[in-house]
């Protein structure tokens, strides 16, 4: 008589994310194959990170199996946004990366599955996912230091995605950074210094507490403020009435960058 299956583990709810439908279906089939030892329940499937985050708004999961390279939003960026959830799920990456890139995952202690994914390796990864915490944002940035397409904002228990291309300026205020678009302001729980390092081609520092989107600049002007009426330079941005002051220290670099 055969040994009974080990059902000591509660089923994990899983979100599968891959831009190729056959890859999603294969992972679903493999999860069925290992159900006796690693029980799971597929809570949803998505073709990219944006679709995945929309699913997560309505359906929290325990584990995300995500491809790394996808259009719209790739797997590393998805994991960075997911990490801002109050109870972030575990993340396992699937990848066809070369040996050098895979080594980066190993050094960072982030679990991955090399395509084509095998059932035994998937079972090992899920067993590990039950014990590991989600990868830290710093680790994910080290693995794939590419710029994000979106900022993520936590509002009322959900993740709100803000396209980086729509942000006109970033201003540090107390422990948050205000991201301003044409429509409204968003509070980012991030460092202005890290944002400057991540988006050097898009944002330009004009003050110790402010970065502006280079392509949103309408012009520069002289202005006078304060009791002494001292003149200084300000930045004019498309669509916004406010004028952003340029510090004396930053003016030479701003002048050169904007060609004024």
pLDDT, tens digit, 9 for 90 and up, residues 115-166: 999 999 999 999 988 887 777 787 787 777 567 999 999 877 778 999 999 9
Q: Say what percent of the chain tops pLDDT 70.
A: 89
What distance in Å separates the CA atoms of residue 94 and residue 110, rounded to the nearest whole number?
11
Residue with tokens 């050094």: 107
- pLDDT, mean of residues 173-200: 93
**In the structure, what pLDDT confidence band is assigned to residue 78 with cuts at 50, 70 and 90?**
very high
**Order of all β-strands in the sheet with 12-17:** 40-46, 12-17, 63-67, 90-95, 112-114
**37, pLDDT greater than 80:** yes
**Order of all β-strands in the sheet with 243-245:** 217-225, 230-237, 243-245
Half-sphere exposure of 144 (CA within 13 A, CB side): 21
The tens digit of pLDDT for each residue in 203-254 reads 999 999 999 999 999 999 988 765 456 778 999 999 999 999 999 999 999 9
Q: Which residue has the higher pLDDT, 20 or 2?
A: 20
């Amino acid at each position: 008589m055969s040994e009974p299956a080990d059902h000591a583990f509660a089923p994990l709810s899983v979100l599968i994310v891959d831009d190729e439908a056959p890859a999603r279906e294969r992972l679903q089939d493999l999860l069925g194959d290992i159900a006796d030892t690693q029980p799971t329940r597929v809570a949803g499937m998505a073709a990219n990170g944006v679709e995945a985050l929309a699913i997560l708004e309505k359906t929290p999961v325990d584990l995300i199996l995500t491809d790394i390279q996808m259009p719209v939003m790739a797997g590393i960026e998805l994991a960075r946004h997911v990490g801002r959830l109050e109870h972030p799920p575990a993340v396992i990456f699937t990848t066809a990366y070369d040996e050098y890139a895979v080594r980066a995952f190993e050094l960072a202690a982030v679990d991955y599955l090399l395509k084509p994914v095998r059932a035994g390796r998937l079972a090992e990864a899920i067993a590990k996912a039950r014990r590991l915490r989600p990868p830290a944002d710093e680790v994910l940035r080290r693995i794939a230091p590419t710029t994000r397409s979106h900022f993520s904002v936590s509002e009322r228990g959900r993740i709100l995605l803000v396209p980086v291309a729509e942000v006109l300026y970033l201003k540090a205020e107390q422990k948050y950074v205000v991201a301003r678009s044409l429509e409204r302001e968003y509070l980012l729980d991030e460092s202005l210094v890290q944002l400057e390092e991540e988006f050097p081609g898009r944002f330009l520092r004009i003050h110790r507490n402010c970065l502006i989107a280079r392509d949103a600049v309408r012009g520069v002007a002289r202005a006078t403020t304060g009791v002494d009426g001292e003149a200084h330079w300000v930045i004019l941005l498309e669509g916004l009435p406010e004028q952003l002051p340029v510090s004396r220290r930053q003016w030479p670099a701003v002048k050169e960058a904007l060609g004024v």
